[in-house]
Structure 1
Amino acid sequence: MPHGNRPPRRSRGAVVLTAALTLALALGGCANDRVTPKDARADAPLDARGGFGSVDCRQARCIALTFDAGPGKDTPRLLDTLKEKTVPATFFLLGMNHIMKYPTVVKRIADEGHEVANHTWTHPVLTDLSEDEIRDELEGPQGELEQITGRRPTLMRPPQGRTDDKVTAVAKELGLSQVLWSVTAKDYETDDPELIERRVLDQAARDGIILLHDIYKGTVPAVPGIIDKLKARGYTFVTVPQLLAPAEPEPGTIYKP
């Protein structure tokens, strides 16, 4: 018999599922907020020249190479490799002990045509912070990078990929899109370049975004093999904005393949 207006008792499985979804949303924002590169391109008008930018990723097998938490002592060597192989990359740069320590490397990154982006000042989990603290973490690199390169970044990557409504609101306010990834070598776990290369190659797919860190010992030596083998598979390397073109990255929006 029904008991008045009491809602039906949920099964234990439903309770567990609800809890899991709640946790997932708390850790990563709302799943519906994610926009894939393909969807971004599909919804965008052509650029001013009636095209899709320097590379048409509707036709080309595009993939974006990105580096977090630098620059570091090995970044100039990485830039030499990228220049030799004519590969553009996107660098999500960290403020404390990195941007401030290597300003000439930051300028070189920008001068050589790579995308300069924001990875916070001290690398905290942003979802643990207040909006004011999030703002401080993002505004610091914005100002320093503008001073060094002459341009304020339009992209950011939240440490550990952790984002939520607070982070999104502040990112939108500061004109920053959020960029996650689809390929990770977990290069913070190993100094083995061959393992890093294999992990990337195993996960690589069209419209992918590769996450690496140019501050770890094994990463920079792995990059030449990653580039050569992915080019042999028919991939074209692009920056994150090129991957989204002709769409302009929308502030606050979370992009993830």
Structure 2
Amino acid sequence: MTFFRSSKHQRLLWSLLLLSVGAAAGFGLGIFCGTEPPVGCRESDLTPVPDESFVSPASASSVETSPEPEPMPEKWVCLTFDDGPSKTTPDVLSALNRAGVKATFFVVATGNNDKYLPLISEAAAAGHQIALHSASHEYSDIYQSADAYWKDIDLLKERLSPYVRADGLWYLRFPGGSTNTVSRRYGGRGLMQQLKEEVTAKGYAYVDWNVCAEDAVGGKPSAGTIFRNIVRETGEQTQCIVLMHDSATTRTTAEALPDIIQWYKDNGFAFLTVEQAVPLPTT
């Protein structure tokens, strides 16, 4: 997995990460968008300033020093889902399981989705990866300070512990992504850099995305629109981390999944979980 450092792949990633340049044309985070969200974006999904990759820098550096037991596929995709579990999660799991595809779920435990938390055990038992997102997903709370962020993560792990081995969860996704600017309103301009350094120092890997389904936008996009968004944003990329949602309002995501999965299969992509594609930082 040397693509994080190779100039060829960095140019590929950079071209998508700079979707902010074409922000008026559609969503970013391929992976990051401009200051004003383009049509089809919601603020909580945006990280407006381009970063150099969609994973923790320490993860990238560890690739060069740690031998891989097996070569990575030339083309791979990670399907990831944020903000669940919810009433839509069973349909997402059914679509994935029918296709024999493993995905990664960046979960929340807000207190409002307690009755759906057992689905985390079901997903893990089916071979899907469970990863950390937020206990509350309230920017004003979690981004007050670094201490507030870690209290949120600790609470999330506590709420997940009946359903999965929470102390084994080492992958996370910041609400809004790793270079969001929304956090500046609450914790100042330096907060995200501080959090990224602390996350890596604690042995976690933070993961953004470089393809966005735009499935959590207002107006509830159709399954066909979600499919077209993913095809468009994948473009010529050969390593993709796709952002989708299994929140209560993203009903059409599950409907789009069969076509999304078939398209990636037809184009020669292998399906990986995030932990298969992204190494943890070495400490």
TM class by shorter-chain length?
0.7 to 0.9
Q: Deviation digits for residues 193-221 of structure 1, max 9, x if unmatched?
A: 10001000111221110000012122111
Going from structure 1 to structure 2, the CA distance change for 1:251 and 1:155 (only over 3 Å counts) comes to farther
* Partner Cα distance (2:255, 2:53) in 1: 37
Q: Could you say which residue in structure 2 is the equivalent of 1:207? A: 239
Q: Equivalent residues in 2 for 1:179-194 (5 A)? A: 179-189=207-217, 190-194=220-224
Within a 5 Å distance, the mapping from 1:212-251 to structure 2 comes to 212-215=244-247, 216-244=250-278, 248-250=279-281
Is the CA contact 1:89–1:238 (under 8 Å) kept in the aligned structure 2? Answer: yes
Query: Residue 200 of structure 1 aligns to which amino acid in structure 2?
Result: I
Aligned partner of residue 119 in structure 1, secondary structure: strand
Distance change >3 Å, CA 177–CA 85, structure 1 → 2: same
Q: Which moved more, 1:192-201 or 1:165-174?
A: 165-174
Contact 2:55 2:207 in 1 (8 A): no
Name the TM-score, length of structure 2 as normaliser: 0.68
Q: Which runs of 5+ in 1 are unaligned?
A: 1-22, 253-257
Number of the residue aligned with 1:129: 144
SS of the equivalent of 2:115 reads: coil
Larger Rg: 1
Where does 1:40-119 land on structure 2 (aligned, <5 Å)?
Answer: 42-47=63-68, 51-52=69-70, 56-57=71-72, 59-97=73-111, 100-119=114-133
Q: CA deviation at 1:139?
A: 1.1
Cα distance in 2 for partners of 1:124, 1:31 equals: 26
Which residue in 1 is equivalent to 2:3?
none
Partner SS state of residue 66, structure 2: coil
The answer to whether structure 1 residue 148 and structure 2 residue 178 are counterparts is no
Residue 6 of structure 1 is matched in structure 2 by: none
Identity %: 25
State the SS of the aligned residue for 2:280.
Answer: coil
CA distance in 2, matches of 1:157, 1:133: 16
Deviation of 1:241 (Å): 1.2
User: Residues 90 and 240 of structure 1 are in contact (CA less than 8 Å); yes or no, is this contact kept in structure 2?
Assistant: yes
Any stretches of 5+ residues in structure 2 without a counterpart?
Answer: 1-34, 36-46, 180-191
C-alpha contact (below 8 Å) 1:182/1:210 kept by paired residues: yes
How far 1:60 sits from its partner (Å)?
Answer: 3.5
Question: In 2, Cα distance between the equivalents of 1:46 and 1:132?
Answer: 35
Q: 1:160: which partner in 2?
A: 176
Q: Quote the Cα distance in structure 2 between the aligned partners of 1:117 and 1:196.
A: 23
Distance 1:158 1:203, change over 3 A: same
Deviation at residue 242 of structure 1 after TM alignment: 0.9
Map Cα deviations across residues 14-56 of structure 1 (whole Å, 9 max, x no partner).
xxxxxxxxx9xx9769759965899557414235xxx23xxx3
- Whichever residue aligns with residue 80 of structure 2, its letter is T
- Asked whether the 8 Å contact 1:187–1:219 carries over to 2, the reply is yes
Structure 2 CA distance for aligned equivalents of residues 241 and 87 of structure 1: 14
